[in-house]
Structure 1
Amino acid sequence: MTEHSPREGTHRERGGTDVARVPAEGTHSPGEASEHANAERILGTVGPAARHPGPTESRSASRLWWDADADDYLAEHGSMLGEREFLWCPERLHESEAGLLGEVSGRDVLEVGCGAAACSRWLASRGARPVGLDISGRMLGHAAAANARTGTEVALVQGSADMLPFAAESFDIACSAFGGVPFVADSEQVMREVARVLRPGGLWVFAVTHPIRWAFPDDPGPDGLTAVQSYFDRSPYVEIDATGRATYVEHHRTLGDYVSQITSSGFRLLELIEPEWPEDHTEVWGQWSPLRGRTLPGTAIFRCLLPERPESAPGR
């Protein structure tokens, strides 16, 4: 799993045009601790707001947030993610076991939202030619340092998932393990961009927090089992600073939204995977826990194929 996973502990509750009523993690009284307190201090975050940031503001917020939080995030989660592992989700689904990307040796692979690029280094170790793309320069700095430590060369590019800086038909496979997709204002544009840079017959596999989790507080305990808002409310979760600038943005789409975006962008959906929580998995990762995992799906993985172009009829 890449380092771009949802804000752990964020309680989203929206109603009309009011400011969110349940405090988000990062909206705390003086003296209260927060897992993201350092990033919030750097960015001057004051709390959540009912806003609908467009593409430019969403990109800006993601760059600001992950640059500010990268060091702390990797200090806490780096040991679980590894430096050369491909972990799809907190349910501990590994690509080495799942094989969702198929044969990667000799293939050009784009990792969207690579964070510190552990997945890309795993791909390189299997003979692929990966490129890791991320919006955060700080995360890419960690990726470059990990490349040097492991002796694994992975190309790293700074950019946004909805504006891929690559030529058409540059890759055989694209993948994203909790990277990029939920943080852009228009996820269908991500699908179109991935379709553009993939060669015909290419695979696009991406993992996101299961959309049903949007209806529940991001709490690993019993409170996280009670729905507090509508699954169909697509209002984004936004945090702002004192000037009103967005410092964190996360967008919500339903399962149906994702399926529609995938198919309208030219892909064929091969599989929708909802990993179950392993019985022997006792660790808590933010909002993911054995308690919730036994009851609610936490991750949705979409496996998509870009069909080959039909051959021209004889004489045409």
Structure 2
Amino acid sequence: MTSPMQIAWDDTVLPFQLDRSDIRGRVARLDGALDNVLKQHAYPPVIEALVAEAAVLTALIGQSVKLRWKLSLQIRGKGPARLIATDYYGPTEEGEPARIRAYASYDADRLDLDAEPFSQIGEGYFAVMIDQGQDMQPYQGFTPIAGKSLSDCAQTYFAQSEQIPTRFALTFGKNQVPGEAARWRAGGVMLQHMPPVGGAVAAEAGSGEGGLLSHADILGGAEAENWTRANALLDTVEEIELIGPTVAPTDLLVRLFHEEDPRVYDAQVVHFGCSCGPEKVVQAMSIYSAKDIKHMTTDKGVVTADCQFCGKHYEFDPATLGFEATKAPGDAG
């Protein structure tokens, strides 16, 4: 039987603040959302693990974006795991769920199925992109792949690009309730120190891997003590507390940070959701000439497209595509 607590907190991100430490954070629980992300594809376990970690990172980071904004993570490497891409769509209206989707591109012939998943990325970069909507310039930030996990990469990104000390504690995997099929679950906590007093740190001052900035380069004095104390408390978290489903995020915060005066805000519901559609395919194809479209046309006389995120299949009359289109989409004649 599914408990009411499990129903209440699955697929949510709960923002909080530690008033004593001047630290903010979020607790994420992904159940059906993550299961739906991964069941769109038959990824090998080593790739599933990377997509799961990227998805929970995206939920934790994305909760801060405004209504109708989109946040994307991209992890590109020279190893067999070539690309991990995720999107978080902010709610269209207050009180509505956010949406998340993800996919991976990999070289199956080079993939080591027995290796630690992060090792399959190799040299590359970790990118955060924010789309603020029509007529707004998108934001893009990049840092090199660093550390031993995608969480480490995200922590490095925030220290280097935003100069905000950040910490993630994540866990994910398949969970099976007696009498039910195994399904993916993930949970995590994100901590961020409020922007420190004293302004920006010179980029060349980094003491982290490869000369990148770390929290030690950004914080000092009481701020550094608060950050160290909060991280030591987070170090005591157990995987079952992160992933649930029987430990409520509010109870977890009290257990970890009761001396830091935790204060919670409204939780954000997160669902799996894809933004693909025939009109977006038509728009993407509008840059091609009739000659290009002809090369894309199958023996059956149609142009096909498949969404990398959700696997949805589309077929089009070639005459409706490209900047030389002779028919409007949907025309029967």
- TM bucket, shorter chain: under 0.3
TM-score by length of 1: 0.26
TM-score by length of 2: 0.25
* Rg larger in structure: 2
Structure with the bigger percentage of strand: 2
